Chain A
Amino acid sequence: MGIIEVQNEIVEEFSLFEDWMQRYEYMIELGKSIELIDPSNKIDSNLIKGCQSKLWLHAELKKDKLIFKADSEAIITKGIAAVLLRVFSNQTPKNIIEAKLEFIDKIGLKEHLSPTRANGLLSMIKQIKYYALAFNKN
Protein backbone atom coordinates (compact mmCIF):
# COMPACT_ATOMS: atom_id res chain seq x y z
CA MET A 1 0.00 0.00 0.00
CA GLY A 2 1.35 3.46 -0.83
CA ILE A 3 2.01 6.03 1.86
CA ILE A 4 -0.98 8.15 0.90
CA GLU A 5 -3.33 5.17 1.13
CA VAL A 6 -2.00 4.21 4.56
CA GLN A 7 -2.41 7.78 5.76
CA ASN A 8 -6.02 7.88 4.53
CA GLU A 9 -6.73 4.58 6.26
CA ILE A 10 -5.39 5.94 9.54
CA VAL A 11 -7.34 9.18 9.21
CA GLU A 12 -10.51 7.14 8.64
CA GLU A 13 -9.86 4.97 11.70
CA PHE A 14 -9.33 7.97 13.92
CA SER A 15 -12.38 9.78 12.60
CA LEU A 16 -14.55 7.13 14.28
CA PHE A 17 -13.55 8.52 17.67
CA GLU A 18 -15.58 11.23 19.29
CA ASP A 19 -13.19 12.51 21.90
CA TRP A 20 -9.54 12.64 22.92
CA MET A 21 -9.93 9.79 25.37
CA GLN A 22 -10.97 7.33 22.65
CA ARG A 23 -8.17 8.59 20.36
CA TYR A 24 -5.58 8.11 23.07
CA GLU A 25 -6.93 4.71 24.06
CA TYR A 26 -6.62 3.62 20.45
CA MET A 27 -3.10 5.00 20.21
CA ILE A 28 -2.16 3.12 23.38
CA GLU A 29 -3.54 -0.06 21.76
CA LEU A 30 -1.54 0.60 18.59
CA GLY A 31 1.55 1.04 20.73
CA LYS A 32 1.08 -2.40 22.24
CA SER A 33 1.34 -4.05 18.81
CA ILE A 34 4.20 -1.96 17.42
CA GLU A 35 7.00 -3.59 15.41
CA LEU A 36 9.29 -3.99 18.34
CA ILE A 37 12.95 -3.16 17.96
CA ASP A 38 15.33 -6.00 18.68
CA PRO A 39 16.72 -5.62 22.23
CA SER A 40 20.24 -5.72 20.77
CA ASN A 41 19.39 -2.55 18.84
CA LYS A 42 18.27 -0.64 21.94
CA ILE A 43 21.57 1.20 21.92
CA ASP A 44 22.37 4.84 22.51
CA SER A 45 23.05 5.55 18.85
CA ASN A 46 19.47 4.54 18.06
CA LEU A 47 17.97 6.91 20.63
CA ILE A 48 15.86 9.75 19.29
CA LYS A 49 16.97 13.01 20.92
CA GLY A 50 14.59 15.46 22.51
CA CYS A 51 12.41 12.89 24.23
CA GLN A 52 11.50 12.91 27.86
CA SER A 53 11.17 9.14 27.65
CA LYS A 54 13.66 6.91 25.84
CA LEU A 55 12.64 6.25 22.23
CA TRP A 56 14.68 3.94 20.01
CA LEU A 57 14.37 3.71 16.22
CA HIS A 58 16.10 1.18 14.02
CA ALA A 59 16.11 1.19 10.20
CA GLU A 60 17.05 -1.56 7.77
CA LEU A 61 16.83 -1.76 4.01
CA LYS A 62 15.17 -4.98 2.79
CA LYS A 63 15.20 -5.30 -1.01
CA ASP A 64 14.18 -1.74 -1.92
CA LYS A 65 12.04 -0.96 1.12
CA LEU A 66 13.00 0.59 4.45
CA ILE A 67 11.83 -1.40 7.45
CA PHE A 68 11.56 0.55 10.71
CA LYS A 69 11.26 -0.84 14.21
CA ALA A 70 10.92 1.15 17.42
CA ASP A 71 10.29 1.01 21.15
CA SER A 72 9.80 3.50 23.97
CA GLU A 73 9.60 3.61 27.75
CA ALA A 74 6.43 5.69 27.51
CA ILE A 75 3.23 4.13 26.21
CA ILE A 76 1.88 7.20 24.45
CA THR A 77 5.19 7.80 22.71
CA LYS A 78 5.12 4.18 21.61
CA GLY A 79 1.62 4.69 20.24
CA ILE A 80 2.67 7.73 18.25
CA ALA A 81 5.70 5.81 16.99
CA ALA A 82 3.39 2.94 15.97
CA VAL A 83 1.30 5.33 13.88
CA LEU A 84 4.42 6.71 12.20
CA LEU A 85 5.78 3.24 11.54
CA ARG A 86 2.51 2.23 9.89
CA VAL A 87 2.91 5.17 7.53
CA PHE A 88 6.63 5.00 6.80
CA SER A 89 7.78 1.41 7.32
CA ASN A 90 7.95 -0.93 4.33
CA GLN A 91 8.12 1.98 1.89
CA THR A 92 10.84 3.01 -0.54
CA PRO A 93 13.23 5.75 0.60
CA LYS A 94 12.01 7.94 -2.28
CA ASN A 95 8.36 7.71 -1.13
CA ILE A 96 9.35 8.51 2.42
CA ILE A 97 11.31 11.59 1.36
CA GLU A 98 8.37 12.90 -0.67
CA ALA A 99 5.69 12.06 1.92
CA LYS A 100 3.60 14.87 3.38
CA LEU A 101 2.45 14.95 6.99
CA GLU A 102 -1.02 16.52 7.09
CA PHE A 103 -2.49 13.31 8.45
CA ILE A 104 -1.11 14.08 11.92
CA ASP A 105 -3.29 17.16 12.12
CA LYS A 106 -6.29 15.23 10.74
CA ILE A 107 -6.08 12.56 13.45
CA GLY A 108 -6.03 15.21 16.17
CA LEU A 109 -2.40 14.86 17.18
CA LYS A 110 -1.22 18.23 15.95
CA GLU A 111 -0.34 19.22 19.52
CA HIS A 112 2.41 16.62 19.41
CA LEU A 113 4.01 18.34 16.44
CA SER A 114 5.13 21.33 18.46
CA PRO A 115 8.92 21.30 18.86
CA THR A 116 8.63 22.02 22.54
CA ARG A 117 6.70 18.85 23.22
CA ALA A 118 8.89 16.40 25.00
CA ASN A 119 7.91 13.31 23.06
CA GLY A 120 10.34 13.57 20.17
CA LEU A 121 7.66 13.17 17.50
CA LEU A 122 9.22 15.82 15.31
CA SER A 123 12.68 14.36 15.94
CA MET A 124 11.45 10.90 15.00
CA ILE A 125 9.97 12.12 11.72
CA LYS A 126 13.24 13.95 11.01
CA GLN A 127 15.24 10.80 11.73
CA ILE A 128 13.00 8.69 9.47
CA LYS A 129 13.53 11.19 6.66
CA TYR A 130 17.30 11.22 7.28
CA TYR A 131 17.40 7.43 7.00
CA ALA A 132 15.41 7.66 3.77
CA LEU A 133 17.84 10.24 2.39
CA ALA A 134 20.83 8.14 3.37
CA PHE A 135 19.45 4.91 1.93
CA ASN A 136 18.22 6.70 -1.20
CA LYS A 137 21.79 7.71 -2.08
CA ASN A 138 22.82 4.07 -2.07
Chain B
Amino acid sequence: MAFNVNKIREDFPILKRKVNGYPLVYFDNAATSQKPKKVIDSIVDYYENYNSNIHRGVHSISQEATDAYEDARKKIQKHFNVKESKEIILTSGTTHSINLVANGFTKLLNKDDEILISELEHHSNIVPWQMMCEKNGAKIKVIPLTSKGELNYDSFLNLLSKKTKLVFVNHVSNALGTINPIKSIISKAHEFGAAVLIDGAQASSHIKADLQELNVDFYTTSAHKLCGPTGIGMLFGKKEWLNKIPPYQGGGEMISEVTFEKTTYADLPHKFEAGTPNIVGAIGFGMALDYLNNIGFDNIESYELELLNYATNKLKEITGFKIYGEAKNKTSVISFNVGELHSYDIGTILDKFGIAVRTGQHCAQPVMDYFGISGTVRASFSFYNTKEEIDYFCKSLERAVAMLS
Protein backbone atom coordinates (compact mmCIF):
# COMPACT_ATOMS: atom_id res chain seq x y z
CA MET B 1 0.00 0.00 0.00
CA ALA B 2 1.42 3.38 -0.98
CA PHE B 3 2.02 5.59 2.04
CA ASN B 4 -0.01 8.80 1.94
CA VAL B 5 0.31 10.80 5.13
CA ASN B 6 -2.52 13.19 4.33
CA LYS B 7 -4.93 10.34 3.80
CA ILE B 8 -3.74 8.73 7.04
CA ARG B 9 -4.28 11.97 8.98
CA GLU B 10 -7.96 11.84 8.02
CA ASP B 11 -8.23 8.67 10.12
CA PHE B 12 -7.37 10.62 13.28
CA PRO B 13 -10.20 12.89 14.46
CA ILE B 14 -8.07 14.71 17.05
CA LEU B 15 -5.68 16.03 14.42
CA LYS B 16 -8.38 18.42 13.27
CA ARG B 17 -8.55 20.29 16.55
CA LYS B 18 -7.07 23.63 17.47
CA VAL B 19 -5.08 24.57 20.56
CA ASN B 20 -4.92 28.24 21.61
CA GLY B 21 -6.30 29.14 18.19
CA TYR B 22 -3.58 27.25 16.29
CA PRO B 23 -3.90 23.84 14.59
CA LEU B 24 -2.68 21.15 16.99
CA VAL B 25 0.82 19.95 16.21
CA TYR B 26 1.12 16.79 18.24
CA PHE B 27 4.77 15.90 18.83
CA ASP B 28 4.31 14.03 22.10
CA ASN B 29 3.83 10.57 20.61
CA ALA B 30 6.41 9.00 22.88
CA ALA B 31 4.11 9.84 25.80
CA THR B 32 1.03 8.48 24.09
CA SER B 33 -0.19 8.04 20.55
CA GLN B 34 -3.36 9.35 18.95
CA LYS B 35 -6.14 6.94 18.03
CA PRO B 36 -7.62 6.28 14.60
CA LYS B 37 -11.39 6.22 14.14
CA LYS B 38 -11.30 2.44 13.65
CA VAL B 39 -9.99 1.95 17.18
CA ILE B 40 -12.40 4.50 18.67
CA ASP B 41 -15.32 2.88 16.81
CA SER B 42 -14.38 -0.59 18.06
CA ILE B 43 -14.64 0.68 21.64
CA VAL B 44 -18.04 2.28 21.05
CA ASP B 45 -19.19 -0.82 19.15
CA TYR B 46 -18.30 -3.05 22.10
CA TYR B 47 -20.25 -0.99 24.61
CA GLU B 48 -23.18 -0.46 22.25
CA ASN B 49 -23.54 -4.02 21.00
CA TYR B 50 -21.96 -6.81 23.00
CA ASN B 51 -20.63 -5.59 26.36
CA SER B 52 -20.56 -8.54 28.72
CA ASN B 53 -18.30 -10.19 31.23
CA ILE B 54 -16.17 -12.88 29.68
CA HIS B 55 -15.09 -16.50 30.12
CA ARG B 56 -17.75 -17.71 32.55
CA GLY B 57 -21.04 -16.68 30.99
CA VAL B 58 -23.15 -19.16 29.05
CA HIS B 59 -25.26 -16.54 27.30
CA SER B 60 -24.68 -15.31 23.77
CA ILE B 61 -23.25 -11.86 24.22
CA SER B 62 -20.90 -13.18 26.90
CA GLN B 63 -19.66 -15.60 24.27
CA GLU B 64 -19.27 -12.80 21.72
CA ALA B 65 -17.28 -10.71 24.19
CA THR B 66 -15.12 -13.71 25.13
CA ASP B 67 -14.40 -14.46 21.48
CA ALA B 68 -13.48 -10.84 20.81
CA TYR B 69 -11.15 -10.75 23.84
CA GLU B 70 -9.40 -13.99 22.96
CA ASP B 71 -9.20 -12.94 19.29
CA ALA B 72 -7.33 -9.85 20.46
CA ARG B 73 -4.89 -12.09 22.31
CA LYS B 74 -4.36 -14.09 19.12
CA LYS B 75 -3.79 -10.91 17.13
CA ILE B 76 -1.09 -9.88 19.61
CA GLN B 77 0.42 -13.36 19.42
CA LYS B 78 0.53 -13.22 15.62
CA HIS B 79 1.88 -9.67 15.55
CA PHE B 80 4.81 -10.52 17.80
CA ASN B 81 5.30 -13.99 16.29
CA VAL B 82 4.79 -15.82 19.57
CA LYS B 83 4.53 -19.61 19.51
CA GLU B 84 1.57 -20.10 21.83
CA SER B 85 -1.17 -17.64 22.72
CA LYS B 86 -0.96 -18.64 26.38
CA GLU B 87 2.41 -16.92 26.48
CA ILE B 88 0.62 -13.59 25.98
CA ILE B 89 -0.64 -12.20 29.27
CA LEU B 90 -2.98 -9.22 28.95
CA THR B 91 -2.11 -6.63 31.59
CA SER B 92 -2.93 -3.00 32.29
CA GLY B 93 0.31 -1.94 30.65
CA THR B 94 4.09 -2.15 30.74
CA THR B 95 4.41 -0.97 34.34
CA HIS B 96 1.98 -3.65 35.51
CA SER B 97 3.77 -6.26 33.38
CA ILE B 98 7.18 -5.48 34.84
CA ASN B 99 5.84 -5.46 38.40
CA LEU B 100 4.28 -8.85 37.69
CA VAL B 101 7.63 -10.32 36.66
CA ALA B 102 9.52 -8.62 39.51
CA ASN B 103 7.04 -10.05 41.97
CA GLY B 104 7.53 -13.45 40.35
CA PHE B 105 11.28 -13.42 40.81
CA THR B 106 11.21 -12.22 44.42
CA LYS B 107 11.56 -15.69 45.89
CA LEU B 108 13.67 -17.06 43.03
CA LEU B 109 16.67 -14.79 43.61
CA ASN B 110 18.85 -14.16 46.64
CA LYS B 111 21.76 -12.03 47.85
CA ASP B 112 24.28 -13.98 45.77
CA ASP B 113 22.52 -13.02 42.56
CA GLU B 114 23.02 -9.99 40.35
CA ILE B 115 20.70 -8.24 37.92
CA LEU B 116 21.81 -5.85 35.21
CA ILE B 117 19.75 -2.75 34.44
CA SER B 118 20.67 -0.29 31.70
CA GLU B 119 21.23 3.38 32.54
CA LEU B 120 18.73 4.21 29.79
CA GLU B 121 15.74 2.68 31.54
CA HIS B 122 12.43 4.32 32.25
CA HIS B 123 11.63 4.29 35.96
CA SER B 124 9.06 1.53 35.42
CA ASN B 125 11.96 -0.79 34.51
CA ILE B 126 14.07 0.28 37.49
CA VAL B 127 11.84 0.79 40.51
CA PRO B 128 10.06 -2.61 40.56
CA TRP B 129 13.49 -4.29 40.53
CA GLN B 130 14.77 -2.08 43.33
CA MET B 131 11.70 -3.04 45.33
CA MET B 132 12.37 -6.71 44.57
CA CYS B 133 16.03 -6.43 45.62
CA GLU B 134 15.00 -4.91 48.94
CA LYS B 135 13.10 -8.14 49.59
CA ASN B 136 15.59 -10.74 48.36
CA GLY B 137 18.97 -8.98 48.63
CA ALA B 138 19.93 -9.39 44.96
CA LYS B 139 22.37 -6.76 43.69
CA ILE B 140 21.74 -4.30 40.87
CA LYS B 141 24.55 -3.51 38.46
CA VAL B 142 24.12 -0.72 35.92
CA ILE B 143 25.03 -0.99 32.25
CA PRO B 144 26.45 2.48 31.56
CA LEU B 145 25.68 4.91 28.75
CA THR B 146 28.03 6.47 26.23
CA SER B 147 28.03 10.14 25.33
CA LYS B 148 26.08 9.28 22.17
CA GLY B 149 23.28 7.93 24.32
CA GLU B 150 23.99 4.33 23.45
CA LEU B 151 24.68 1.49 25.85
CA ASN B 152 28.32 0.77 26.49
CA TYR B 153 28.35 -2.75 25.04
CA ASP B 154 31.85 -3.58 26.27
CA SER B 155 30.85 -2.63 29.81
CA PHE B 156 27.80 -4.84 29.43
CA LEU B 157 30.02 -7.79 28.49
CA ASN B 158 32.27 -7.10 31.48
CA LEU B 159 29.32 -6.98 33.86
CA LEU B 160 27.99 -10.37 32.78
CA SER B 161 29.05 -13.19 35.06
CA LYS B 162 27.73 -16.46 36.38
CA LYS B 163 26.11 -14.42 39.16
CA THR B 164 23.93 -12.59 36.60
CA LYS B 165 20.39 -13.91 36.67
CA LEU B 166 18.40 -11.17 34.92
CA VAL B 167 19.11 -8.43 32.39
CA PHE B 168 16.77 -5.49 31.70
CA VAL B 169 17.06 -3.23 28.70
CA ASN B 170 14.51 -1.17 26.80
CA HIS B 171 14.14 -1.94 23.13
CA VAL B 172 13.97 1.79 22.42
CA SER B 173 14.82 4.57 24.91
CA ASN B 174 11.87 6.88 25.53
CA ALA B 175 14.17 9.70 26.59
CA LEU B 176 16.58 9.60 23.63
CA GLY B 177 15.13 7.37 20.91
CA THR B 178 18.13 5.01 20.95
CA ILE B 179 17.40 1.57 19.49
CA ASN B 180 19.35 -0.94 21.58
CA PRO B 181 21.06 -4.04 20.08
CA ILE B 182 18.75 -6.35 21.97
CA LYS B 183 19.28 -9.43 19.83
CA SER B 184 22.97 -9.63 20.75
CA ILE B 185 22.30 -8.57 24.34
CA ILE B 186 19.81 -11.44 24.68
CA SER B 187 22.14 -13.94 23.08
CA LYS B 188 25.12 -12.91 25.27
CA ALA B 189 23.01 -12.95 28.43
CA HIS B 190 21.83 -16.47 27.60
CA GLU B 191 25.44 -17.67 27.35
CA PHE B 192 25.69 -16.84 31.05
CA GLY B 193 22.35 -18.42 31.88
CA ALA B 194 20.64 -15.11 32.52
CA ALA B 195 17.08 -14.32 31.47
CA VAL B 196 16.27 -11.10 29.67
CA LEU B 197 13.26 -8.81 29.95
CA ILE B 198 12.94 -6.23 27.19
CA ASP B 199 10.72 -3.20 27.77
CA GLY B 200 9.13 -2.72 24.36
CA ALA B 201 6.75 0.11 25.28
CA GLN B 202 8.53 2.75 23.26
CA ALA B 203 9.51 0.43 20.42
CA SER B 204 6.19 -1.14 19.52
CA SER B 205 4.77 1.75 17.53
CA HIS B 206 7.89 1.93 15.37
CA ILE B 207 9.31 -1.60 15.20
CA LYS B 208 7.58 -4.93 14.72
CA ALA B 209 9.49 -7.24 17.08
CA ASP B 210 9.72 -10.95 16.23
CA LEU B 211 9.89 -12.46 19.69
CA GLN B 212 10.79 -15.99 18.53
CA GLU B 213 13.64 -14.66 16.44
CA LEU B 214 14.85 -12.53 19.37
CA ASN B 215 14.55 -15.57 21.65
CA VAL B 216 13.72 -13.12 24.47
CA ASP B 217 12.42 -14.40 27.80
CA PHE B 218 10.03 -11.52 28.55
CA TYR B 219 8.80 -8.64 26.41
CA THR B 220 6.34 -5.96 27.47
CA THR B 221 4.38 -3.23 25.76
CA SER B 222 1.46 -0.84 26.28
CA ALA B 223 -1.33 -0.43 23.73
CA HIS B 224 -1.66 3.31 24.19
CA LYS B 225 1.79 3.82 22.69
CA LEU B 226 0.70 2.20 19.41
CA CYS B 227 -2.66 3.79 18.61
CA GLY B 228 -4.54 1.60 21.09
CA PRO B 229 -6.47 2.58 24.21
CA THR B 230 -4.97 3.29 27.63
CA GLY B 231 -5.14 0.78 30.45
CA ILE B 232 -4.14 -2.29 28.44
CA GLY B 233 -0.85 -3.87 27.56
CA MET B 234 0.76 -7.20 27.20
CA LEU B 235 3.48 -9.26 28.79
CA PHE B 236 5.05 -11.98 26.68
CA GLY B 237 6.83 -14.63 28.74
CA LYS B 238 8.29 -17.95 27.61
CA LYS B 239 5.97 -20.54 29.09
CA GLU B 240 8.83 -22.16 31.01
CA TRP B 241 9.24 -18.89 32.92
CA LEU B 242 5.55 -18.13 33.33
CA ASN B 243 5.01 -21.61 34.75
CA LYS B 244 7.86 -21.07 37.19
CA ILE B 245 6.83 -17.72 38.68
CA PRO B 246 3.90 -17.38 41.09
CA PRO B 247 0.75 -15.35 40.37
CA TYR B 248 0.86 -11.60 41.03
CA GLN B 249 -2.71 -10.83 41.94
CA GLY B 250 -5.18 -13.24 43.48
CA GLY B 251 -8.87 -13.28 42.77
CA GLY B 252 -11.44 -14.56 40.31
CA GLU B 253 -10.49 -15.95 36.88
CA MET B 254 -6.99 -16.98 37.95
CA ILE B 255 -8.11 -19.94 40.04
CA SER B 256 -8.80 -23.57 39.37
CA GLU B 257 -10.39 -24.60 42.65
CA VAL B 258 -11.04 -22.53 45.78
CA THR B 259 -11.61 -23.77 49.31
CA PHE B 260 -10.60 -22.11 52.54
CA GLU B 261 -8.10 -24.90 53.09
CA LYS B 262 -6.35 -24.57 49.75
CA THR B 263 -6.74 -22.86 46.40
CA THR B 264 -5.18 -24.05 43.16
CA TYR B 265 -4.39 -21.78 40.27
CA ALA B 266 -5.51 -21.70 36.68
CA ASP B 267 -3.29 -22.52 33.74
CA LEU B 268 -1.65 -19.93 31.55
CA PRO B 269 -2.55 -17.27 30.64
CA HIS B 270 -5.38 -16.90 33.14
CA LYS B 271 -3.11 -17.55 36.13
CA PHE B 272 -1.89 -13.98 35.66
CA GLU B 273 -5.21 -12.38 34.70
CA ALA B 274 -7.12 -11.96 37.95
CA GLY B 275 -10.48 -10.22 38.00
CA THR B 276 -12.50 -8.79 35.15
CA PRO B 277 -9.98 -7.63 32.57
CA ASN B 278 -10.03 -4.51 30.43
CA ILE B 279 -12.10 -6.31 27.82
CA VAL B 280 -12.76 -3.30 25.62
CA GLY B 281 -9.11 -2.32 25.95
CA ALA B 282 -7.97 -5.66 24.58
CA ILE B 283 -10.34 -5.33 21.64
CA GLY B 284 -9.01 -1.83 20.95
CA PHE B 285 -5.45 -3.15 21.22
CA GLY B 286 -6.14 -5.79 18.57
CA MET B 287 -7.79 -3.22 16.31
CA ALA B 288 -4.78 -0.90 16.67
CA LEU B 289 -2.45 -3.70 15.56
CA ASP B 290 -4.69 -4.39 12.56
CA TYR B 291 -4.61 -0.70 11.67
CA LEU B 292 -0.82 -0.42 11.90
CA ASN B 293 -0.17 -3.66 10.03
CA ASN B 294 -2.47 -2.47 7.28
CA ILE B 295 -0.26 0.57 6.80
CA GLY B 296 2.79 -1.65 7.09
CA PHE B 297 5.66 -1.30 9.55
CA ASP B 298 8.18 -0.95 6.73
CA ASN B 299 6.29 2.13 5.56
CA ILE B 300 6.03 3.46 9.10
CA GLU B 301 9.73 2.95 9.80
CA SER B 302 10.98 4.55 6.62
CA TYR B 303 8.66 7.56 6.79
CA GLU B 304 9.45 8.21 10.45
CA LEU B 305 13.17 8.02 9.66
CA GLU B 306 12.62 10.68 6.98
CA LEU B 307 10.90 12.92 9.54
CA LEU B 308 13.65 12.33 12.07
CA ASN B 309 16.43 13.25 9.64
CA TYR B 310 14.52 16.25 8.29
CA ALA B 311 13.82 17.62 11.76
CA THR B 312 17.31 16.93 13.12
CA ASN B 313 18.95 18.77 10.22
CA LYS B 314 16.63 21.77 10.50
CA LEU B 315 16.98 22.02 14.28
CA LYS B 316 20.78 21.89 14.09
CA GLU B 317 20.61 25.26 12.32
CA ILE B 318 19.22 26.93 15.46
CA THR B 319 21.89 28.67 17.52
CA GLY B 320 22.48 26.97 20.83
CA PHE B 321 20.62 23.81 19.80
CA LYS B 322 22.00 20.77 21.59
CA ILE B 323 20.72 17.27 20.93
CA TYR B 324 20.99 14.39 23.39
CA GLY B 325 21.07 10.90 21.98
CA GLU B 326 22.85 10.58 18.68
CA ALA B 327 22.83 6.83 18.40
CA LYS B 328 23.45 5.36 14.96
CA ASN B 329 20.04 3.69 15.19
CA LYS B 330 17.22 5.82 16.51
CA THR B 331 13.48 6.09 16.35
CA SER B 332 11.83 9.43 15.63
CA VAL B 333 12.57 11.11 18.96
CA ILE B 334 14.62 14.27 19.41
CA SER B 335 15.59 15.25 22.95
CA PHE B 336 17.20 18.65 23.09
CA ASN B 337 17.90 21.92 24.83
CA VAL B 338 18.61 25.38 23.47
CA GLY B 339 21.44 27.28 25.13
CA GLU B 340 20.88 27.71 28.84
CA LEU B 341 17.10 27.91 28.54
CA HIS B 342 15.08 25.60 30.75
CA SER B 343 13.03 23.02 28.92
CA TYR B 344 9.94 24.04 30.87
CA ASP B 345 10.07 27.56 29.43
CA ILE B 346 10.41 26.32 25.86
CA GLY B 347 7.61 23.78 26.25
CA THR B 348 5.27 26.39 27.73
CA ILE B 349 5.75 28.83 24.85
CA LEU B 350 5.52 26.09 22.21
CA ASP B 351 2.21 25.05 23.75
CA LYS B 352 0.97 28.59 23.15
CA PHE B 353 1.63 27.99 19.47
CA GLY B 354 -0.42 24.78 19.56
CA ILE B 355 2.63 22.51 19.67
CA ALA B 356 2.62 19.57 22.08
CA VAL B 357 6.05 18.39 23.20
CA ARG B 358 7.16 16.93 26.49
CA THR B 359 9.59 18.59 28.86
CA GLY B 360 11.50 17.47 31.91
CA GLN B 361 13.09 14.21 32.88
CA HIS B 362 10.81 11.82 30.96
CA CYS B 363 10.77 9.36 33.87
CA ALA B 364 14.42 8.66 33.16
CA GLN B 365 16.34 10.54 35.83
CA PRO B 366 19.51 8.42 35.40
CA VAL B 367 19.72 9.55 31.77
CA MET B 368 19.38 13.19 32.78
CA ASP B 369 21.96 12.73 35.54
CA TYR B 370 24.35 11.17 33.03
CA PHE B 371 24.23 14.28 30.86
CA GLY B 372 24.24 16.56 33.92
CA ILE B 373 21.02 18.30 32.95
CA SER B 374 17.73 19.01 34.68
CA GLY B 375 15.65 17.93 31.70
CA THR B 376 15.11 18.22 27.98
CA VAL B 377 12.47 19.18 25.47
CA ARG B 378 11.40 16.01 23.69
CA ALA B 379 9.75 16.10 20.27
CA SER B 380 8.58 12.64 19.20
CA PHE B 381 7.10 12.07 15.75
CA SER B 382 4.69 9.50 14.45
CA PHE B 383 3.66 8.36 10.98
CA TYR B 384 0.80 10.88 11.00
CA ASN B 385 3.08 13.90 11.47
CA THR B 386 4.28 15.93 8.49
CA LYS B 387 7.28 17.92 7.31
CA GLU B 388 5.07 21.02 7.26
CA GLU B 389 4.46 20.51 10.98
CA ILE B 390 8.20 20.26 11.52
CA ASP B 391 8.74 23.53 9.61
CA TYR B 392 6.16 25.24 11.82
CA PHE B 393 7.75 23.72 14.91
CA CYS B 394 11.19 25.06 14.00
CA LYS B 395 9.83 28.56 13.33
CA SER B 396 7.91 28.54 16.62
CA LEU B 397 10.95 27.30 18.49
CA GLU B 398 12.98 30.21 17.14
CA ARG B 399 10.29 32.63 18.30
CA ALA B 400 10.20 30.99 21.73
CA VAL B 401 13.97 31.26 22.07
CA ALA B 402 13.84 34.94 21.05
CA MET B 403 11.15 35.64 23.65
CA LEU B 404 13.11 33.90 26.38
CA SER B 405 16.52 35.36 25.63
Complex CA distance for A10 and B360, rounded to whole angstroms: 30
Residues of B within 8 A of A73 (CB): 342, 374
Does B403 lie within 8 Å of A52, measured CB to CB? Answer: no
Given contacts A52-B359, A54-B374, contact A28 B403 (CB under 8 A): yes
Does B345 lie within 8 Å of A52, measured CB to CB? Answer: no
Residues 28 to 74 of chain A near chain B (Cβ within 8 Å): 28, 52-54, 73-74
Does B352 lie within 8 Å of A75, measured CB to CB? Answer: no
Complex CA distance for A28 and B341, rounded to whole angstroms: 12
Candidates B20, B341, B374; contact of A75 at CB < 8 Å: B341
Answer whether residue B404 sits at the interface, using C-beta atoms and an 8 A cutoff.
yes
Answer whether residue B299 sits at the interface, using C-beta atoms and an 8 A cutoff.
no
Answer whether residue B344 sits at the interface, using C-beta atoms and an 8 A cutoff.
yes
Answer whether residue B348 sits at the interface, using C-beta atoms and an 8 A cutoff.
yes
Does B352 lie within 8 Å of A20, measured CB to CB? Answer: yes
Answer whether residue A25 sits at the interface, using C-beta atoms and an 8 A cutoff.
yes
Does A24 lie within 8 Å of B352, measured CB to CB? Answer: yes
Interface size class of B (residues with CB under 8 A): 10 to 19
Given contacts A75-B345, A76-B345, A118-B344, contact A20 B20 (CB under 8 A): yes
B403 to chain A, nearest CB (A): 6
Complex CA distance for A119 and B404, rounded to whole angstroms: 16
Residues of A within 8 A of B345 (CB): 53, 74-77
Residues of B within 8 A of A25 (CB): 403
B17 to chain A, nearest CB (A): 17
A65 to chain B, nearest CB (A): 31
Does B403 lie within 8 Å of A53, measured CB to CB? Answer: no
Complex CA distance for A54 and B360, rounded to whole angstroms: 11
Does B344 lie within 8 Å of A52, measured CB to CB? Answer: yes
Answer whether residue B349 sits at the interface, using C-beta atoms and an 8 A cutoff.
yes
Residues of B within 8 A of A119 (CB): 344, 348
Nearest residue, chain A, Cβ from B404: A75
Binding site for B on A (CB under 8 A): 20-21, 24-25, 28, 52-54, 73-77, 118-119
* Additional A-B contact list (17), CB under 8 Å, known A20-B20, A20-B352, A74-B345: A21-B403, A24-B349, A24-B352, A24-B403, A28-B403, A28-B404, A52-B375, A53-B342, A53-B344, A53-B345, A53-B374, A73-B342, A74-B342, A75-B342, A76-B344, A76-B348, A76-B349
Q: List 5 A-B contacts (CB under 8 A).
A: A20-B20, A24-B352, A53-B342, A53-B344, A75-B341
Please list the 4 inter-chain residue pairs (A to B) with the smallest Cβ-Cβ separation, ordered nearest first: A74-B342, A74-B344, A52-B344, A53-B344
